[in-house]
Amino acid sequence: MISLDFSNLTKIKAAHGLTTKALQATPAQIGRHLKKISNRKQGFYTVIDDAAKVKKINAFADSVAGKYTDIVILGIGGSALGAICLKQSLKHLFENELKDLSPAPRLHILDNIDPALISDFEDLVDSTKTLFIVITKSGTTPETLAQYSYYSHKIYQKKLYPRDHFVFITELKNNPLRQIAREENITCFSIPENVGGRFSVMTAVGLLPAKLIGIDIEKLLLGAREMRDRFLSTDITLNLPYQLALAQYQLAKKGKKINVLMPYSQKLIRFADWYRQLLAESIGKQGIGITPVNALGVTDQHSQSQLYNEGPNDKLLMFINVENLGPCMPIPTMIKKPANFFPEGLTFNRLMHTEMEGTITALTKNNRPNITINVPEVDEFFLGQLLMLFMGATAFLGEFFKINAYNQPGVELSKVITKELLQKY
């Protein structure tokens, strides 16, 4: 089970940390916030019970098994970040480079419209052996429709059938993508109306590509349900999302309005990318906000930790400690080495954990608030827990700050202006 360690918040000066009492809440307090969340009728924590959705995804995956060498996601923001996170976290880190490693197709995510990206990608895949997953909840996202227009043109040029090379994921409402799906007989998966893009990783948006590349989606959902049950508990000792949100909120009130998420795991750096959007887009509105920052241990000890130790004390550092980092990798004795450079028997695993401990200890001595999220290992079950932990915490943060965590009026305004400019063009 994932666990949270807030002990360092009580070890630093009171002006920058939190007391044990500040991290506590009564069942009545938690219950009031859960009722407010329930009244918003959001589906991110109920969609994980949709067995029919999983059955359809599994059936589709079985029907196309062995047919494609490559899967390409055309999408942006919440339509892409969940799948990027799942791939990075749960597959071989170099799977796309090692073509013979797995019978599963390679997964690529084109989450930008930079012409250099589109042009260079042409050299990588054979579209005749590629399945394109087009993801846009509204069915009107201009970046995604531009990508679809480009690749559908390629398919038509090669006299191929679009239904054999495209699958759509969009909302049930009628929209341009639904209309194309009907006309071309393209398989279409639905995004529930009450699940926003940044909360959609447990819908077909994340689960379909995950299944197609061999990820155990049932195990992922099992972990998510375990954390969801804690999210709905009024017992503070069980409700880890509430505990996390409470610490973030209390520290934000003390001026710690930047949250640095720093996993000590190469596999979880895209999880930090996913969370960056979740926190920024959910809580950043009405003059309120917590600014998310990504960091990677141990890499960013050498690029960011100076700022965190001696710069403005306006940050909460959130470390993710993965207890089992994978295969035990000994550091061999140097043929020629300075005396006692490394202790005998040291492993990369132990070195990684020791460097994290040193980083955390230094920050604590410098009165920098920090917490540690302990994860037994990075697999489907614990990643499911981790995803639901942060979605649940974000839901509570919205209620603490008295804002709607599920809309994005600032983003919508820029979309409207972009469409107006395109019409003028």
Q: Summarize pLDDT for 282-333 with one digit per residue, the tens.
A: 999 999 999 999 999 999 999 999 999 999 999 999 999 999 999 999 998 7
Q: Are residues 158 and 21 in the same domain?
A: no
Residue 339 has pLDDT above 70, yes or no: no
- Name the average pLDDT for the chain: 95
Q: Are residues 7 and 53 in the same domain?
A: no
CATH of the domain at 80: 3.40.50.10490
Domain count, the chain: 2
Structure confidence at residue 335 as a pLDDT band (50, 70, 90): low
Q: How far apart are the first and last CA of the chain?
A: 54
Q: Are residues 329 and 403 in the same domain?
A: yes
For 99-116, give the secondary structure using H, E and C: CCCCCCCEEEEECCCCHH
CB 206 within 8 Å of CB 169: no
Q: Are residues 100 and 185 in the same domain?
A: yes
Could you tell me the residue range of the domain that residue 363 belongs to? 3-40+232-410
CB 213 within 8 Å of CB 107: yes
Residue 98 lies in a domain: yes
Residue 415 lies in a domain: no
Active site residues: 281, 302, 415
Q: Are residues 78 and 209 in the same domain?
A: yes
CB 370 within 8 Å of CB 364: yes
For the stretch 124-135, pLDDT in tens is 999 899 999 999
Cβ neighbours for 331, distance < 8 A, ≥ 6 positions apart: 342, 346, 347, 348, 351
Predicted local confidence at residue 196, as pLDDT: 95
CB 329 within 8 Å of CB 348: yes
Residue 418 lies in a domain: no
Copy the structure tokens of residue 33.
């916030």
Which is nearest to 151 in space by CA: 198, 178, 174, 117?
117
Q: Are residues 32 and 55 in the same domain?
A: no
Say which amino acid occupies 132.
F
Residue 420 lies in a domain: no
Q: Are residues 127 and 152 in the same domain?
A: yes
Residue 351 has pLDDT above 80, yes or no: yes
Phi and psi angles of residue 327, each rounded to the nearest 5 degrees, phi first: -60, 140
Structure confidence at residue 337 as a pLDDT band (50, 70, 90): low
Mean local confidence (pLDDT), 273-282? 98
Q: How many residues does the chain have?
A: 425
Q: Are residues 211 and 305 in the same domain?
A: no
Q: Are residues 347 and 323 in the same domain?
A: yes
3-state secondary structure of 214: coil
Q: Cα 285 to the chain's mean position, in Å?
A: 21
Residue recorded with tokens 């994290």: 356
Domain boundary among 189, 216, 243: 216
Copy the structure tokens of residue 328.
């035990």
Residue 226 lies in a domain: no
| Element containing residue 200 per DSSP (H, E) | none
Residue 343 lies in a domain: yes
Q: Are residues 122 and 93 in the same domain?
A: yes
Q: Are residues 59 and 198 in the same domain?
A: yes
Residue 168 lies in a domain: yes
Q: Are strands 370-377 and 3-5 parallel, antiparallel or unpaired?
A: antiparallel
- Angstrom CA distances, 253 to 202, 262, 399, stand at 32, 22, 14
Distance CA 11, CA 108 (A): 45
CB 89 within 8 Å of CB 385: no
Distance CA 251, CA 261 (A): 15
Which is nearest to 393 in space by CA: 187, 250, 297?
250
Residue 136 lies in a domain: yes
Distance CA 299, CA 93 (A): 16
Q: Are residues 250 and 375 in the same domain?
A: yes
Query: What is the model's pTM?
Result: 0.96
Domain boundary among 184, 216, 248: 216
Structure confidence at residue 51 as a pLDDT band (50, 70, 90): very high
